[in-house]
Amino acid sequence: MRLAKIDWLLAGFLVAAATAVTACGSSNKATSGLPTQIGKGEGQLNLVAWEGYAEPQWVKPFERNTGCVVHTKYAGSSDEMVTLMRQGGGGQYDMVSASGDATLRLISGGNVRAVNIDLIPEWKNFIPQLRSPSHNTIDGVHYGVSLQWGPNSLLYNAKSVTPAPTSWAAIYSKKYKGAVTVPSNTIQIADAALYLSKTQPSLGISDPYELTESQLNAAVSLLKQQRPLIKKYWTGAADEAELFKSGDAVIGAAWPIATTTLEAAKVPVKEIIPSQGATGWADTWMISSHTKHLNCAYKWINWVSTPQVQAQQASSYGETPANRLACPYMEKIKAGSCGKYHANAPSSYFESIKFWKTPVKDCGNGKHDCMDYSVWQKKWTEVTA
C-alpha cells in the first residue's frame, strides 16, 4: 500500500527543516529545553510501539531520507510501555506510541519531555480535539502529538441482536448472557462510568476518567453485574473477531479494525456510537526525557504526521488519522476507507468521543479526591477475577 512519490515529500520537508537544535530560553521548567530548530539526524531511533505502527512502507523511506535507522520494540499493553520507558528511556528507547491510559503516567513520572509544536507543521491540520487533548497537554504544554485514534464502538451481529441497539444498555442486558465481550483492560471502567453519567446523573459523573471513590464503586458494581454475561474479555482485535466469527459473541465493545475484519469475512456485523457516546483511544508519539536522538525523534513525528503517511498507517492498521488532509490519500489506497474510519466525520462525531486519559487523584476542580490508576487496577482485578 505504498503511495506514489512518497520519498520526495519527506526529502523536500527535511531540506526545508533547520540545521541545528538549540534550546529556547523559557523560564518554564517543562519548556526551558525545547529545541527551536531541527538539526541533522543522529543516525538511529529506538521506538517502543504498538505492533503495526512502524511498518516498512513508511519506515524505509524515512530511513533513506534522514539516515535515522529505526529499531522497534513492540509492546503488548500500555502497562508494558510504561515499564519499558521507565526502565530504558533514553538509554534504550527514544520514543513511545503511548495510549491515553499511559501518557499522564509517563508525564508525571518525568519519563517524557515537552515538545515544541512549532516544529511540527502538520499539527495545524489535526482535528481540533487532538491538537491539545488533556491526555498529553498540561497547562498548555505539549508532551507529544496524537496521530492516530479510534472509538470503542458498540459492535453487534445484526442477525442475532434484534432490535438494533442504540444504547450501551445492551451489553449489560441479561438478554445476551454468555454472548457479550469487552476489552480486557483496566480503562474499560471508564466505559461503565460514561454509561452511568448519562443514565444515573445523580452520581455526578462529569468525566469518566475522574471518579471519586463512590463514583468508581458505582462503575465497578455495574461491571460486576455484567461479569456473568461475559463470554470472554478480549485482549486484541483479532481475538474479538474470532469470537464473533465462531458465534461465541454476538455483541460487545470493539475497535473499528475488528469490524472491518469481520465484514471482510462476511460476518453480518454492524457498529454504532450509542446514544451515551463512547470512549476512544488516541495514541501519542512521546519523546524520552533522556533521548540521545532528539533530531531523529522530531523528524519521525513530522514524517508520520504528514497526510500521506497518516493515510498509510490508518489503512494498514484500521484506525483514524488525526490529520484532516489524509482522506484523499486514504481513498487512493482503498475507496471508501475515509468514511469507514470516520476521518471525514462532522465535529459532532468527534465531540461524542471521550478519549482515554490516565486516572489521577487531581479531579481538575482543585480537589484531589479522585481515584488514581493504581486503584482502578485493583478494582478491575476484582471485576475479572
Return the DSSP state at 327.
Answer: H
Look up residue 286 and give its three cell numbers.
512521546
Parse the chain into domains and list their residue ranges: 6-143+283-344, 151-277+356-384
Q: What is the pLDDT of residue 9?
A: 38
Q: What is the pLDDT of residue 347?
A: 87
Q: What is the pLDDT of residue 236?
A: 84
Work out the number of other CB atoms within 10 angstroms of the CB of residue 76. Answer: 11
pLDDT tier for residue 28 given thresholds of 50, 70 and 90: low
Q: Is the CB of residue 135 less than 8 Å from the CB of residue 104?
A: yes
pLDDT tier for residue 317 given thresholds of 50, 70 and 90: confident
Q: What is the pLDDT of residue 341?
A: 87
Q: What is the pLDDT of residue 2?
A: 27
Half-sphere exposure (Cβ direction) of 12: Cα atoms closer than 13 Å: 6
6-143+283-344 and 151-277+356-384 have identical folds: yes
Q: Is the CB of residue 255 less than 8 Å from the CB of residue 149?
A: no
Half-sphere exposure (Cβ direction) of 170: Cα atoms closer than 13 Å: 29
Work out the number of other CB atoms within 10 angstroms of the CB of residue 15. Answer: 8
Q: What is the pLDDT of residue 10?
A: 41
Q: Rounded to the nearest 5 degrees, what angle is found at the Cα of 193, between the Cα atoms of 190 and 197?
A: 140
pLDDT tens for 126-179 read 999 999 999 999 999 999 999 999 999 999 999 999 999 999 999 999 999 999
Q: What is the CATH number of domain 151-277+356-384?
A: 3.40.190.10
**pLDDT of residue 369 exceeding 60:** yes
Task: Please state the pTM of the whole predicted model.
Answer: 0.84
**pLDDT of residue 205 exceeding 60:** yes
How long, in residues, is the chain?
385
State the sign of the Cα–Cα–Cα–Cα dihedral 181, 182, 183, 185: negative
Q: What is the pLDDT of residue 323?
A: 96
| CA–CA distance, 380 with 359 (Å, rounded to integer) | 13
Look up residue 371 and give its three cell numbers.
481515584
Can you say whether residue 290 is alpha, beta or left, with left for phi > 0 and alpha for psi between -120 and 50 degrees? alpha
Q: What is the pLDDT of residue 30?
A: 67
For the domain made up of 6-143+283-344, the CATH class stated in words is alpha beta
User: Stretch 259-276: mean pLDDT, rounded?
Assistant: 94
**pLDDT of residue 247 exceeding 60:** yes
3-state secondary structure of 72: strand
pLDDT tens for 273-306 read 999 999 999 999 999 999 999 999 999 999 999 9
**pLDDT of residue 16 exceeding 50:** no
Least confident of 16-25, 286-295, 357-366: 16-25
Q: What is the pLDDT of residue 328?
A: 97
Q: Is the CB of residue 287 less than 8 Å from the CB of residue 114?
A: no
User: Stretch 257-274: mean pLDDT, rounded?
Assistant: 93
**pLDDT of residue 185 exceeding 60:** yes
Contacts of 103-106 with C-beta under 8 Å, sequence gap 24+, read: 103/135, 103/136, 103/143, 103/144, 103/284, 103/286, 103/357, 103/358, 104/135, 104/357, 104/358, 104/360, 105/358, 105/373, 106/82, 106/143, 106/286
Pairing of strands 320-321, 145-151: antiparallel
Q: Is the CB of residue 308 less than 8 Å from the CB of residue 6?
A: yes
User: Stretch 320-338: mean pLDDT, rounded?
Assistant: 95
Q: What is the pLDDT of residue 1?
A: 30
Q: What is the pLDDT of residue 91?
A: 76
pLDDT tens for 210-220 read 999 999 999 99
pLDDT tier for residue 363 given thresholds of 50, 70 and 90: confident
CA 97 to chain centre: 8
pLDDT tens for 44-103 read 999 999 988 999 999 999 999 999 999 999 998 899 999 999 997 667 999 999 999 999
